[in-house]
Structure 1
Amino acid sequence: MRILYLLFPLFLLLVHSAAGSSLSPTNKKQCEKENGYCGFLKCKFPFVIKGKCSRFFYCCKNLWG
């Protein structure tokens, strides 16, 4: 029972690091590497915004894959 107070912070640390592992694309190179394209302000239909390429360009990736 004494070790329980030590395991809880370890668990929180693991959850916190796992949350940052699935970052969305942040530039054009990453977007194209993940089979996306950079669209100006919006994406055309079957594509949705999944990240940013630059200030006004968003990474568009296919909705179904």
Structure 2
Amino acid sequence: MRILYQLLAVLFMVLQGVAVPSVAPNQKPECHKRKGSCHFGRCPIHLVRVGSCFGFRSCCKSMFG
């Protein structure tokens, strides 16, 4: 029974790494026009939100560019 939990943990870590590529194919063209990239949820600290992408994704862009 204990090995089942370990297998589930390993499976979760493998799937987490494969889940979302850095450049998703379903990014909206408006985000690319603004020179942004789509991120799940909120934007990372060094980026600002300039719009939205598919689902719960935010279109984020560098503060300095």
Q: TM-score, normalised by structure 1?
A: 0.51
| Gaps in structure 2 of 5+ consecutive residues | 1-26
Instruction: Give the root-mean-square deviation of aligned CA atoms.
Output: 1.5
> Which one has a bigger Cα radius of gyration?
1
Separation (CA, whole Å) in 2 of partners of 1:36 and 1:56 = 16
Shift of 1:51: 0.7
Query: Which residue is 2:39 aligned to?
Result: 39
1:3-59 per-position Cα deviation (integer Å, ceiling 9, x unaligned): xxxxxxxxxxxxxxxxxxxxxxxx621101221000000111210111111220110
Q: What is the SS of the residue equivalent to 1:64? A: coil
Shift of 1:61: 0.8
The one-letter amino acid paired with 1:54 is F
Query: Which residue is 1:51 aligned to?
Result: 51
Aligned sequence identity (%): 38
Separation (CA, whole Å) in 1 of partners of 2:28 and 2:46 = 19
Q: What is the SS of the residue equivalent to 2:42? A: coil
Separation (CA, whole Å) in 2 of partners of 1:33 and 1:51 = 11
Q: TM-score, normalised by structure 2?
A: 0.51
Displaced runs of 4 or more, over 2 A:
none
| Gaps in structure 1 of 5+ consecutive residues | 1-26
